[in-house]
Amino acid sequence: MKLLYLFLCSFLLTVGVYAQQAGDTPEKAAPVPDAKTFKSTQTAVIGGRNYTFQTEVGTHLLRDQDDKPIALFGFTYYKQAGGKDRPIVFAFNGGPLSASFWLHFGILGPKRVVVNDPGYTGPAPYQVVNNEYSILDKADLVMIDPVGVGFSRPVGKSEFKDFWGVDQDIRSIGSFIEQFLIREGRMNHPRFLLGESYGTFRNAGLVKWLQDRGIAMNGVIMVSAVFELQHLLFGPGDDTAYLIHFPTYAATAWYHNRLPSKNPDLEAFLSEVRRFTEQEYAPALLQGDRLSAAEKQAMAGRLAAYSGLSANFWLKANLRVTNQEYFQELLRDAGETVGRLDSRFTGVNEDLLGQYAQTDPQSDAISAPYIAAFKDYLYSDLGVDRNMTYVTSTGLRDGFQWDWKHQGNLAWNAQVAVSTLPDMTSAMNRNPNLKILILNGYYDLATVFYGVEHSISHMGLKPELQGNIIMKYYEAGHMMYTHPPSMAQFKADVGAFIDEQ
């Protein structure tokens, strides 16, 4: 028996050697790099009071449910020095995927860049000032950069595709929030989510994901919201997008003085437009080809009166004008196009014969100052290693592709009607203390305010829960915080919301 045992040991050892030589052993994952953070002290004057913040920026080594490292997750954390039991706000931008520098350096952080709203900002050096509109007097702040932007990237056996999708994104950000709260000993502190654009779509799913794991939010703040992505698509046979965009077309025409008779009260004017959209425009589109020629002509005239486009243009468009067509047509006679993110902004129309706009003037006007000034702040004031690359958008990465499937949607419509509205509805039904604040820009043609109103009115909430959704409106666009009067309103609205929860 002893000889047999020795033979088997020798045989197994030999097989192991040959297997190694043949490359049959499992492939080892790349070494996991260490997380890096950089600490500094930042200050701000808010409401006439001086605040000091312990600041940490860098990466957290994100783990999966088995504690295996899956990503270096980027963040910036502002904590009031000496503060105790303060609320904490987790904030991010949208995209997908954009880094969080827009909100960070536009309205939330201790400093902000000054832009020439609603025009083009002059060349560098850009002006960076104390941010008197920051929410840091109300709460500590964690700015989040999802995997693929900022300093965030996969590690170990993980790949970008493991994070690039509706559910993958919710899971990774939710995991980071839970791990960060545990790291900081803040699991029992008041906590809020704040997202912009796609970040609101993410928020609607994320609040339920966290709540299902025992992490209920005190409140969720939605900046320029969209919950049903089909509202952004002008699909064949689906008139919803045409209807919900129309009030913002009217607001844009009002702003640019393209109406034959202008009501000086914007909100009263838009109330009238809402009624027209629901009671006249929607029934006309519903009839489709059954609408008579005379009825169609009359409707084109009504649309022209509210939109600033000619009745003839509406007739050629079969009473259905996409947002891209509207950008291009409204100021075509002046050689200009209007902004998608903020229709107050105008730029050169690069193709006067074209059907669709070639560029977004608001994006052109503010991107350079935001990016350059923020990166200077990141590497200079916050002391980040200059050898670390901060990626502003996944548009800069090769092979970016988003998985639009969402577990909360029915399988048959998951690719054409992606929505996290059911997630938010469920979260509110199961947590009657949950409050939602939604901030809408009247001139936002990227995520239109009437689309949000449509979604909210179709949640099926009980009357006592409907009051948990608070809607605020701004005479600005998608990034309402580029508009100085709206900065003050943003500060007041968000500050009051945090205080009340």
| Architecture of the domain whose range is 37-230+391-500 | 3-Layer(aba) Sandwich (3.40)
Structure tokens at 314: 């509406």
392 Cα distance to chain centroid? 14
Instruction: Please tell me the predicted confidence (pLDDT) of residue 409.
Output: 78
* DSSP β-bridge partners for residue 92: 195
CATH 3.40.50.1820 domain residues, the chain: 37-230+391-500
pLDDT given for residue 155 in this prediction: 96
HEC assignment per residue over 271-287: HHHHHHHHHHHHHHHHH
pLDDT of residue 387: 97
Burial class of residue 52 (count of CB atoms within 10 Å of its CB; 0-12, 13-18, 19+): middle
Cα–Cα distance measured from residue 159 to residue 170, given in angstroms and rounded to the nearest whole number: 16
Q: How does pLDDT run across 396-408, given as a tens digit for each residue?
A: 899 999 999 998 7
Supply the pLDDT for residue 81: 84
Residue 325: Cβ within 10 Å count: 18
Return the pLDDT at 15: 31
Q: Are strands 469-474 and 153-154 parallel, antiparallel or unpaired?
A: unpaired
Residue-level pLDDT at 85: 86
What pLDDT was estimated at residue 31?
Answer: 83
pLDDT of residue 29: 59
Strands 49-63 and 69-80: antiparallel
E strand or H helix that includes residue 376: helix 361-376
Task: Supply the pLDDT for residue 366.
Answer: 97
| Positions of the chain with pLDDT under 70 | 1-29, 410-416
Please state whether the peptide bond connecting residue 463 to the residue before it is cis, i.e. omega within 30 degrees of 0.
no
**Pair type for strands 435-441 and 219-223:** parallel
Say if CB 329 and CB 258 are below 8 A apart: no
